[in-house]
Amino acid sequence: SQTIHQWPATLVQPVGSPLSLECTVEGTSNPNLYWYRQAAGRGLQLLFYSVGIGQISSEVPQNLSASRPQDRQFILSSKKLLLSDSGFYLCAWRRVMNTEAFFGQGTRLTVV
């Protein structure tokens, strides 16, 4: 069966520090991968998605970037965090032929 791992579960970082959140999927190949940010009252905002290694589509221009160095690995990064980057970040995957998405447990990021 397929599983998605996302870590860390919680993270407290100072303003101006770098960020690296990692997401990996097991049990499938060539998945579509997604990063979302969830904020109270704002739902899930799509940040990035990827249909293959090295292929990244950015939905919202902001202080974040994403990379996909391996087929089942998706990384969310920032060089310098802002207070406004605080939030709950969710990774998701989807089989190309099956269009529902499966979500990880999420990372609660607090920038202080």
Partner 1 sequence: AQSVSQHNHHVILSEAASLELGCNYSYGGTVNLFWYVQYPGQHLQLLLKYFSGDPLVKGIKGFEAEFIKSKFSFNLRKPSVQWSDTAEYFCAVKVNRDDKIIFGKGTRLHILP
Determine if 43 is a binding residue for partner 1 (CB under 8 A).
Answer: yes
The correct pick among 7, 13, 22, 32 for binding partner 1 (CB under 8 A) is: 32
Determine if 42 is a binding residue for partner 1 (CB under 8 A).
Answer: yes
Which tokens in the block code for residue 82? 């802002």
Cβ neighbours of 101 (radius 10 Å)? 18
Say how many CA atoms lie within 13 Å of 109 toward its Cβ.
31
Q: Binding to partner 1 (CB under 8 A): which residues in 53-112? A: 57, 59, 90, 92, 94, 99-106
Report d(CA 73, CA 80) in Å as an integer. Answer: 22
**Could you tell me the smallest distance in angstroms from the CB atom of residue 81 to partner 1?**
24
Which C-beta is closer to partner 1: that of 49 or that of 81?
A: 49
